[in-house]
Amino acid sequence: MHFYQTTVPNCDSESHYSNYLSSQPSLPSVPSLTSQPQQLHYFFTNAYCSTTLKGHNSYISSLTLSGKFLYSGSSDNEIRLWNQNPLNSEPDDDEEQRLIDNVVAVGKGAVKSLVVLADKLFSAHQDHKIRVWKINNQEQDCPKLYTRLATLPTLNDRASKLLVPKNHVQIRRHKKCTWVHHVDTVSALALSSDETLLYSVSWDKTLKIWRTSDFKCLESVTDAHDDAINALALSTDGDVYTGSADKKIKVWRKNNSVDKKHSPVDTLEKHKSGINALALSSDGSILYSGACDRSILVWEKEDGGSMKVTGALRGHTESILCLVVVSDLLCSGSADKTIRLWRRVDRNYSCMAVLEGHKGPVKCLTAAVDHGTSISNTSYVVYSGSLDCEIKVWKIMVPLL
């Protein structure tokens, strides 16, 4: 009989944020991969904040890019839509009103993660639900509320499991529900490479897999971790990585048996504190993990397919809260209110820039290559969301190697 933990130490209420953001000592046993400061002049990077997007009245908890638009989710249940390339200048009164009047969906519970698939927007919430929204043919200057297509688990999914006793799991001493339900905050979402499956993880310690065509829950891995699951990353080869408050990263793979269920194939244990963020290189050969120990660990895939830690990226002075990879750039956001940009050269890393300007911890990041005309630089746009309720847009120009 399985029991879920229904409250976790890093929940989003104000009273618990001190635990969630508190940092712990770094990892002396893991060598640093960061270049010495005197080596950084070779990689001089031009980075600046081009604009600040205001409108949310509560902290920003999720960001994602889709086409020419940026979606943001906040702790006050709202999902907002922004032009991916906002004006560089400060908005006038009309523009300020346009940026504020851009709510496209309102759920029930803080928006923890956002994923876009074609004309559908999936949102994960603190009220234990995943919602699916129909994206309108969106005009930049006229956002409309999106239509809610479904709430996961769907009514059909719940009804089909309800009458069969083996489909029920114990969630508290005197309460049961069907295995298709998350029973705590849904903390992260990710799509499979072929976009047929949606993966979700939760503070209830489960990993669930949903079919995107009809939103049916296909599988639930109960007690995937010993504590709340905070982070999720999917590789193009099908491997699934989950990071938890239990200080572990687990690697999951669909087995070749008849049921094709996911099973753990490895457990990565080096962090000494809860893991908040995971990110993969584009080819899936490098995994980055960020935790409350202020270090970003770098894991590289060996010939046998297993991940081995090769070192740590140090520089942040507080907990690592979010990570994103774009091309050959790794971006990290921290409770120290800064974003750091890292670049890998010959298995060593240089901190290219430290972006300062947020007045609160940096909770979420997303990024894209900015396709410009420069032949001497690669340009990026990095978007950061913070507990200061603002989204900042950063323009980054990195010299070609």
DSSP result, 53-70: E---SS-EEEEEEETTEE
Please check the confidence at residue 40 and state whether its pLDDT lies above 50. no
Phi-psi region of 247 (alpha: psi -120 to 50; beta: other; left: phi over 0): left
Q: What is the DSSP letter of 341?
A: E
Taking a C-beta distance cutoff of 8 angstroms, is the pair 363, 188 a contact? no
Q: What are phi and psi of 34, to 5 degrees?
A: -85, 135
pLDDT in tens, 247-292: 999 999 998 776 789 999 999 999 999 999 999 999 999 999 999 9
Q: In this structure, which amino acid lies at residue 348?
A: N
Please check the confidence at residue 199 and state whether its pLDDT lies above 80. yes
- The rounded distance, in Å, linking the Cα atoms of 259 and 221 is 13
Taking a C-beta distance cutoff of 8 angstroms, is the pair 63, 331 a contact? no
Across residues 101-112, what is the average pLDDT? 90
pLDDT for the residue 10:
42
Q: In this structure, which amino acid lies at residue 8?
A: V
**Lowest mean per-residue pLDDT among 8-17, 175-184, 196-205:** 8-17
Going across the sheet that includes 147-152, the strands are 111-117, 120-125, 130-134, 147-152
Q: Whole-prediction pTM value?
A: 0.89
- Residue 143's alpha-carbon distances to 67, 83, 105, 213, in angstroms, are 15, 11, 10, 26
Q: 307-313 and 320-326 as β-strands: parallel, antiparallel, unpaired? A: unpaired
Q: How confident is the model at residue 16 (pLDDT cuts 50, 70, 90)?
A: very low
| Stronger pLDDT, 88 or 397, i.e. the higher one | 397
One-character DSSP codes across 363-392: EEEEEEEE--S-SSEEEEEEEEEETTS-EE
Both structure tokens of 201: 């993880």
pLDDT in tens, 315-365: 999 999 999 999 989 999 999 999 999 998 877 899 999 999 999 999 999
CATH superfamily of 46-399: YVTN repeat-like/Quinoprotein amine dehydrogenase (2.130.10.10)
Taking a C-beta distance cutoff of 8 angstroms, is the pair 170, 181 a contact? no
Secondary element (H or E) of residue 298: strand 296-301
Across residues 189-209, what is the average pLDDT? 97
Please check the confidence at residue 20 and state whether its pLDDT lies above 60. no
pLDDT in tens, 127-172: 999 999 999 876 655 568 899 999 999 998 888 777 776 677 766 5
Q: 10 Å Cβ neighbour count for 156? A: 12
pLDDT in tens, 54-75: 999 999 999 999 988 999 999 9
Please check the confidence at residue 37 and state whether its pLDDT lies above 70. no
Q: How confident is the model at residue 19 (pLDDT cuts 50, 70, 90)?
A: low
CA dihedral sign of residues 50, 56, 60, 62: negative
- The rounded distance, in Å, linking the Cα atoms of 196 and 188 is 17
Cross-strand partners of 339: 333, 355
Both structure tokens of 158: 């719940």
Please check the confidence at residue 36 and state whether its pLDDT lies above 60. no
Closest CA to 210 of 325, 146, 292, 122: 122
Q: How confident is the model at residue 208 (pLDDT cuts 50, 70, 90)?
A: very high
Average pLDDT, rounded, for the chain: 86
- The rounded distance, in Å, linking the Cα atoms of 300 and 228 is 25
- Residue 113's alpha-carbon distances to 23, 86, 245, 358, in angstroms, are 23, 22, 18, 21
What is the SS3 assignment for 18? helix
